[in-house]
Structure 1
Amino acid sequence: MKKVRITQTSSAIRKSDKQKATLTALGLRRIGMAREHVLTPQVKGMLKKVDFLVKVEELS
């Protein structure tokens, strides 16, 4: 499966509780923090919810 690196680029202040919870579920707590995940349908759905707060890079 593909792996992706997800980096938080914007603050979660003044965002909905669901968006904050999604960032926490992805393992992101502050701007500049990055995590690597396997690109499953669940992760794709979470990225769709917070696409304006994160940057996604595909890893080879």
Structure 2
Amino acid sequence: MAKVKITQVKSIIKRPKDQKATITALGLGKINRTVEVENTPQIAGMIRKVSHLLKVEEA
């Protein structure tokens, strides 16, 4: 599988609980924090759900 670099670029303050939980599950939580994960269908769905808060790059 390909890896993707995910960086949080917007705050989760005043976001719905499910979006906050998704950000936490991705291993993020603070602005400018970056994680590198395998691009599985589950991760792709999580990224789609909170894409307005993230910057995604192919690794």
Q: TM-score category by the smaller chain?
A: over 0.9
Q: Deviations over 1:5-46 (max 9, x none)?
A: 000000000100000000000000100000000000000000
Asked if 1:16 is matched to 2:10, the reply is no
TM-score normalised by the chain length of structure 2: 0.98
Number of positions where the alignment pairs a residue of Structure 1 with one of Structure 2: 59
Query: Gapped runs of 5+ residues in structure 2?
Result: none
Aligned match of 1:31: 31
TM-score normalised by the chain length of structure 1: 0.97
Q: Which residue identity is paired with 2:18?
A: K
Point out 4+ residue stretches in structure 1 off by more than 3 angstroms: none
Structure number with the higher helix fraction is: 2
Asked if 1:43 is matched to 2:43, the reply is yes
Q: Which residue identity is paired with 2:33?
A: M
